[in-house]
Structure 1
Amino acid sequence: MLLETQADIIARLRARLPGVLVEDFPDKPEDYRLNHPVGAVLVQYGGSRYGKRDEIGLVVQERALRFGCQLVWRALNGERGVLVALELVRRALVGFKPSHSKKLRAVRDMFVSQQGGLWRYVIEFEGDALVVENQEADDGPLLTVVGSFEEEVGNGD
């Protein structure tokens, strides 16, 4: 579910931001090297918050899935700067519905760092999903005899 939702977000951003590199957040972020002339959007699952259990005989909970988009950009300002890109990412994802959650909403965006001529900002989104327990089969006795209601009470004759 998480990988599919992340893939949906990446596909949406690639369609909406065709001149930008959009990919999964790297396994080794300390080794990440920006090779794109403008910038990159790196998408990462950031965790979940779970709601209270509904009391209906089984566990059912709301789950707020959080995804972050880290923008790694060569320029801060101007038409090709990270601040414009941040707004484009927000517009592309607010209201977008991935396959395994409700529509995404923006949670926050913030400056991360500036180092070696690269500006880093992050914008986070949440989408709600429903968690339902995997109910196991009851270990009660097996049904061995099947009769009809008429057999039990008679047919009224």
Structure 2
Amino acid sequence: MELKLITPHYCKLGFADVDRMLRIEEQVYTHPWSRGNFADSLSSGYEAYGFRNVELDLFAYFVVMPILDELHLLNFAVDLSYQGQGYAKLLMGKLFAYTNEQAYSSILLEVRRSNVRAISVYEGAGFAAIGVRKGYYPAHDNQREDAIVMRRTR
């Protein structure tokens, strides 16, 4: 794997970034969001932020939805060629800074039970499992997969 160690440019994302977010999404998830999922989220006023490299190509992002005093992390992804280099942790730090700046009391998320790597990242960032949503995610062969619900408080 080619290392891409850089100081990323952190920025707010918009409709012009949907195609790149979609390409990353399709790389890293077995059941990726669609173009419509991203567009609907932005149209609904949800926030998206990410990292760009020196060529200003997007390589990591998160999408969040505010619910009263809580922030719901809807999507979080890092391009495969940038994984394992600390960018998820760095982007998580930006998410926490955003949470503090906006005075949200906690962050809630769902993660596939089978996504052990993501669960490990979230636990390392201070999230704790608080429940399970049975059959929350689509899985292969018309099956469903449980989601682990996790929360991190400020």
TM-score, with length taken from structure 1: 0.31
Larger relative helix fraction: 2
Which structure has the larger Rg? 1
Normalising by structure 2, report the TM-score: 0.31
Higher RCO (CA 8 Å, separation ≥ 6 residues): 1
